[in-house]
Structure 1
């Protein structure tokens, strides 16, 4: 993909982040601005005073700072003082410092003052772009986290769209009420997170939150699963079994996909909701102090008409409802969610931080996501393994653009898919291909893969790859 096309994809997929270049060599600063202008909104300053003036005007996400600033451009002192001043004012700002060759101690001092990273002159522009993309990604994640803390979200939710903000506001309003709640929405929209939010904002916070996958309860063991069973209550009951209601005592019982419950179990659940009393199989009746929150991806009113769901239970659970919109109706959440999953799964997989290429952002923004947030997470998981810590492109998603339609299709692993083994095989294949392309040279291969040279050496050692022998 050429740079002009890439720049167009960026402007269409997401608003460019604001970058301030602080460099007293004006021709060099303008050269960097021309190179970066399509992906970032670039401003230029040549002195400490100009830099502070720009920072006061508006939200700067990224700062490229040459430490050699007037009036003493030959030393890093002014640049280091400016770095400390601005990172104290805005810890979220990502600062990449530029140092002269041989100034390792200065670079380490800059990192201790809060710099995100450093580059040594002469600066490789492609390396600069990669570093700025990663810094942008980190800035976005930290801002999302800070925003969620400011909103008082006690669960790891990404709320960027107006549609989800309305859902969260509704949850905040009804959470303290001691009534049953029915959460409706398609599969994969995050209904359990909403249930957790209801629990955390209620007086029952600190007490158990017990989730039950109603679709996974065996028909013959449904009553025992929910209400428990004494030893010998049925064939195979060799010991006492504590039910989910007892486990949730004093807290919240979350019934995921309640529409999957059998007719008989619906009747027993209704009785518990009406009387707050239940009896384990083979045991005596007892009281239960539990708030019930249920979720469904079905139209329960239609299920009632078809005779598949009890009308009285529907009325009992339908006291308050929360509807979670599908991902296709809250597209402002897609990129923040993608970045959140990249951060989360990179740590889980032991991979270096990655980022989405502009055309990858554009591609996922166009996708209809029938599987909602769950599908997005699975896509990111697969793409991270394929990218191996490098920049994620549409190819890592397994995308195919339909002729003349723009429709995007995602391939998914089949039965027996061994994720760790597939990851190792893909990683080894990509490393070997990169080394072949560059004649076994480490530095250009690492740059091609978007990973540091040290990381590439570690991967070669892990796979037992010896340059010249295995490639």
Structure 2
């Protein structure tokens, strides 16, 4: 881990009216990392740097950066796998993943994990500088907006059969106030919204909704945070403390990412069965009055088979399972959700924006949203910030939406595989084979091949020149189509 102390102060040579962003650059290639830092500091941003995930997490805890530029490949952990930890440690921090070459599955995984965007490393720093500038403009607009804190969503929006089924399940289980509920679904699909909707329909209006992210709890404090502790229960416990179970009162205790609970699974099972619990270091049995709602984006049944999750706890949690569908399986809800977000952010920012124009709406409906509803919300928030008139247009949408990047990377959802010989092939060899395969599958039509690869036609053209790939016959074919 390295800290760039020079980057902690404002760039004295800059004429910028405001301090730039606090940017943490995480990359194990020291030269590249320092080059990025140097360029961003020239733009007036304050930078620190780290060479691995462990160093990044230390910086995030101490510094709370506005933006993390995170390399995909890091020595101690895959960068994409670290995104949930970063988001949990600093929810307001924006994460952008940097990749050595364009691979749609990696981009999809990054967005699904909670990244705002991803950038392919180019020979120049221009793409990074431009994207950081965009993020800075968006944050400045949001900082200028005033008003009360936004109320958490507690209503599932949409009229698709998939979401209507979920709403019907919630309305049904609301009539059984003590029944444990397990909500499953991909990251960003709306599991917490479903839990809050259940809380609103089934608990007293003034009762608390207490959310615990099991994936982000410090291992040494997890039991205390959930169950509370008595004074003197462990070193540093100078006062007694109520835990999440007590704080939930007669409301709802929402245990998010329950698959990460670890050693406390047995104790949670006893609590669910006996409806009582004890604080750490205590003996008094405290009655459980709240409903317990658990959520996960993992396959708990598979974790049971692998010995990573208790079968009896899984069966106890799964009394009433609810699966929230991904947004790509309820596409008819996209416009309703987008309109709801447009209204909310327009009001917050004091802007008179009516909604999406026809082409922008169509582009959203064509996109597969690997980050689900959360990604749509972020896209709409950005669009509202950028819009100058009454309608959001395609130019206000991110490049990944306009290029039609989707989870499937081949026609009809087929995947593309290329041969890779460790120690023999370079990443460039793999990229060249992938381009050739895309051209073959699309009959040499470059616009279709570029779309399949998640590239613009210009980006594909540059790679064709770089690798000496001739497409004269394919180009004639494409001209006849255009």
Structure 1 position 290, deviation (Å): 2.0
Confirm or deny: 8 A CA contact 2:230 2:279 kept in the other structure.
Answer: yes
The yes-or-no answer on 1:404 pairing with 2:448 is: yes
Partner of 2:186: 186
Confirm or deny: 8 A CA contact 1:354 1:389 kept in the other structure.
Answer: no
Structure 2 CA distance for partners of 1:391 and 1:407, relative to 1, 3 Å: farther
Structure 1 position 282, deviation (Å): 2.0
Partner of 2:330: 330
Partner of 2:34: none
Measured against aligned partners, the alpha-carbon deviations of 1:119-174 in whole angstroms (never above 9, x if no partner) come to xxxxxxxxxxxxxxxxxxxxxxxxxxxxxxxxxxx934312212111111111112
Q: Which runs of 5+ in 2 are unaligned?
A: 1-152, 405-446, 457-482
Write out aligned runs for 1:103-182 (5 A). 155-177=154-176, 178-182=178-182
Partner of 2:246: 246
Partner of 1:442: none
Write out aligned runs for 1:63-82 (5 A). none
Query: Highest CA radius of gyration, 1 or 2?
Result: 1
Alpha-carbon separation, structure 2, partners of 1:174 and 1:235: 42
Structure 2 CA distance for partners of 1:279 and 1:407, relative to 1, 3 Å: same
Structure 1 position 354, deviation (Å): 4.2
TM-score in terms of structure 2 length: 0.50
Structure 1 position 284, deviation (Å): 2.5
The yes-or-no answer on 1:344 pairing with 2:344 is: yes
Matched residue of 2:241: which SS? coil
Write out aligned runs for 1:219-368 (5 A). 219-262=219-262, 264-286=263-285, 287-368=287-368
Structure 1 position 285, deviation (Å): 2.6
Alpha-carbon separation, structure 1, partners of 2:203 and 2:349: 37
Structure 1 position 216, deviation (Å): 1.6
Structure 1 position 292, deviation (Å): 0.7
Matched residue of 1:259: which SS? helix
Q: Which runs of 5+ in 1 are unaligned?
A: 1-153, 412-471
Structure 1 position 409, deviation (Å): 6.4
Measured against aligned partners, the alpha-carbon deviations of 1:81-100 in whole angstroms (never above 9, x if no partner) come to xxxxxxxxxxxxxxxxxxxx
Structure 1 position 390, deviation (Å): 4.3
Partner of 1:199: 199
Confirm or deny: 8 A CA contact 2:209 2:252 kept in the other structure.
Answer: yes
Confirm or deny: 8 A CA contact 1:401 1:407 kept in the other structure.
Answer: no
Partner of 2:386: 386
Structure 1 position 195, deviation (Å): 1.0
Structure 1 position 389, deviation (Å): 5.0
Structure 2 CA distance for partners of 1:333 and 1:272, relative to 1, 3 Å: same
Structure 2 CA distance for partners of 1:156 and 1:173, relative to 1, 3 Å: closer
Alpha-carbon separation, structure 1, partners of 2:184 and 2:370: 16
Alpha-carbon separation, structure 2, partners of 1:215 and 1:350: 36
Alpha-carbon separation, structure 2, partners of 1:382 and 1:395: 11
